[in-house]
Structure 1
């Protein structure tokens, strides 16, 4: 299966840097699982993240941006559900 990530970011809101940073984090963490990652410029305050065409984060629905650890877990759950993310998966005491 080809795993793909798509990040839609609002150009009016200047969220390109955020989108590229999150892209870098995902590509570094899932360097063997992700086959393609697309940044899609849009307008209207949109910031959506899709994994294999499944919406895993919407800024409007969640009232904000994801923490990078949460984003990695959500991505993992779709593209590599058996993968252990190490310290990210450890429960806080």
Structure 2
């Protein structure tokens, strides 16, 4: 499945870095599933993540999402069942990966 993701963020709140971080994570994780990822400047405290136009995370309804919550929400639409490693753990964190 190919999908377009949009992250709308508040310029008044200076949320560009908080939008860019999950955008980078999504592009890295879903290299073949995403056809597009856009950052849309907004105002009024907005922070909304959409997949193919459908809202999957909205700060006003669910609170400000951590990048792992954004990854899970997008994964559930574009690659259901795909494991996300540390992101699938409760709280979305864990010890860092250690390469052998």
**TM-score, structure 2 normalization:** 0.80
Q: How many residues align?
A: 91
Name 1:53's counterpart in structure 2: 53
- Give, in angstroms, the shift of residue 61 of structure 1: 0.9
Deviations 1:1-33 (A, max 9, x none): 431100001111111111111100111111111
Moved more, 79-88 or 49-58: 79-88
Separation of aligned partners in 1, 2:70 and 2:39: 16
Name 2:7's counterpart in structure 1: 7
Name 2:72's counterpart in structure 1: 73
RMSD over equivalenced CA pairs, Å: 1.7
Separation of aligned partners in 1, 2:27 and 2:75: 12
Confirm whether residue 41 of structure 1 aligns to residue 41 of structure 2: yes
Structure 2 vs 1, CA of residues 14 and 35 (structure 1 numbering), >3 Å: closer, same or farther? same
Name 1:18's counterpart in structure 2: 18
Structure 2 residue runs of 5 or longer lacking an equivalent are 92-100
